[in-house]
Structure 1
Amino acid sequence: MGWFEWLLQLAVVLLLAVALPLVVRLERALAAVRRDRAALEGSAGNLTEATRLAEAASIRLRAAAEGGGRQLSERLAAVEPLRDDLRYLVERAEGLADRLEALVRAARPLAQDPPEPAPPAEAGRSQAERALLRALRAGR
């Protein structure tokens, strides 16, 4: 073997010595990837299950929202005539209130005149009571 062969073998030994720690580090990284692969596959199964559950919940939520919308529209349809009736009653009540207010304003000046005094015995009695008393007195 010549000196050239010795140099080549020395270079190969040096390259192997440098590559050996790299190979050890690479082997450890590959072992970690293999361990994580099992966890990743389990997580993928969990993710698939979670996706399926979310889709089912979404379908139930959509059905509930549609049912609520139908109920709301049915109730609104049932309440619509009542709303119209109430609007009509409010309009009539406003008219009556205006008329009543006008009558009260017109009656205020009349209320300021002093009322005629009632006879003392019949002061707190209604017209029917007074008529009854007259009839009883006439019958004696």
Structure 2
Amino acid sequence: MALCSGTATAQVAPPMGSSPTPGAGLNYDASAHDKATDYSALDDVNNARRAKRVQQVDAIGSVGGGAVAATSGDLLPGSHIFDKRGQMLGDVERVDALSVTVASGAGRVAVPAEAFGKNKRGLMLELTKKQFDELVKSTVPTK
């Protein structure tokens, strides 16, 4: 039979009617851990990651960035329409209560007015020229 020598400790129950102190009897100081965390360094890392994501979105998004929804006053016949990369799609041919007819070299297509945005370059649609041309080809011709 082997016996181990050393000091033994036991937890003592709190007196009846009182509540135990959290962490009592646990040789652990949580506040020391909290003081060791450098939150400003974590904020710097998160801010750098956020800035990088914004740059990536701006690079793939609309030319000039800062696109906002176009208003009915922006949708005027003869206005140029650009894709999200800044390529010319066509011109506004006609505006009615339900849609805006866009004329391009590939044909004409009716587009809901709420699909248009605008940035410092002008009116835009959130798609590429290739996607727009495919949309025109798949659409029934409008008069």
Task: Report the TM-score, using the length of structure 1 for normalisation.
Answer: 0.30
Between structures 1 and 2, the one with greater helix share: 1
Structure possessing the higher relative contact order (Cα contacts under 8 Å, 6 or more residues apart): 2
- Which structure carries more strand by proportion? 2
- Which structure has the bigger radius of gyration? 1
